[in-house]
């Protein structure tokens, strides 16, 4: 964790990112419950408690076009206002979560989030400054769980669910270039985490069974999502 107060946003495992130059006046999560009301005969309404909803954060601040004494980020790291806007819009267009890190008094956050809305406008009377409102929502990585049937006893199936891979912020590539010695099983294992998905790659790229043994190095393969 960092050793000073600040708010950082980054994309693709910190491949790209920045520190907010000016801290917002307030920051905190908005979390809603997901309870459901039901009518029970003789009792009336009851509330069934379910898992909490996803945390939401609203950041209101300024991308400064000039230097102010209340800028919290190091001067060497402060970008031009338009650059911040372009980065956020570029990340949003990838449809992939970003990393939200905040270290402020009484609050530390380090979670993946989705960009829900982003509004900005130039500040009247302050040439170059951009005032913005950025709304973020907590993101939970998920994937389908592969299940094997181990045995079937007395009509009861005994199953084994394979553990899901540790999630991270990296954006999954859409293509892969074959290297010498590669085959589709190796590609599926390396890029999809499951070698048994090689048939999906074969079908997506229109590769016949006869071509499997002579795939040329340098061939660009499309990968399934």
24-50: average pLDDT: 76
pLDDT tens-digit map of 14-29 = 889 999 999 999 888 8
DSSP strand pairing (98-104 vs 107-122): antiparallel
pLDDT of residue 11: 92
In the structure, what pLDDT confidence band is assigned to residue 169 with cuts at 50, 70 and 90? low
The predicted pLDDT at position 44 comes to 75
For residues 180 and 99, membership in a common domain is answered with no
The number of beta carbons lying within 10 Å of the beta carbon of residue 82 is 13
CATH number at residue 193: 3.10.350.10
26 within some domain: yes
More confident of the two residues 99 and 104: 99
pLDDT of residue 147: 57
Number of folded domains that form the chain: 2
The whole-angstrom separation of Cα 63 and Cα 185 is 48
What pLDDT was estimated at residue 1? 46
Percent share of the chain, pLDDT over 70: 83
Query: Rounded to 5 degrees, what are φ and ψ at 152?
Result: -135, 110
Q: What is the pTM of this model?
A: 0.64
Give the number of other CB atoms < 10 A from CB of residue 97: 23
Has residue 35 got a pLDDT over 60?
A: yes
- Give the pLDDT score at 7: 94
Could you tell me if 60 and 117 lie in one domain?
A: yes
Which range of residues forms the domain containing residue 84?
Answer: 6-32+44-138
């Amino acid at each position: 964790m960092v050793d000073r107060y600040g708010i950082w946003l980054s994309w693709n495992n910190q491949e790209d990112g920045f520190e907010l130059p000016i801290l917002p006046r307030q920051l905190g999560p908005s979390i809603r419950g997901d309870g459901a009301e039901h009518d029970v005969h003789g009792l009336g309404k009851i509330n069934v408690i379910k898992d909490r909803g996803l945390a939401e954060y609203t950041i209101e601040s300024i991308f400064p076009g000039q230097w102010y004494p209340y800028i919290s980020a190091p001067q060497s790291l402060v970008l031009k206002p338009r650059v911040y806007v372009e980065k956020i819009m570029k990340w949003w267009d990838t449809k992939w979560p970003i990393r939200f890190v905040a270290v402020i008094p009484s609050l530390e956050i380090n979670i993946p989030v989705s960009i829900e809305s982003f509004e900005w406008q130039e500040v009247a009377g302050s040439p170059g400054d951009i005032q913005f409102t950025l709304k973020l929502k907590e993101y939970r990585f998920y994937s389908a769980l592969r299940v094997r049937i181990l045995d079937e006893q007395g009509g009861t199936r005994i199953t084994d669910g394979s553990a899901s891979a540790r999630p991270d912020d990296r954006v999954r590539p859409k293509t892969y270039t074959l290297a010498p010695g590669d085959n589709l099983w190796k590609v599926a294992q390396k890029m999809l985490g499951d070698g048994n998905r090689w048939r999906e790659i074969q079908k997506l790229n229109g590769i016949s069974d006869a071509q499997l043994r002579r795939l040329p190095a340098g061939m660009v393969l499309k990968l399934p999502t």
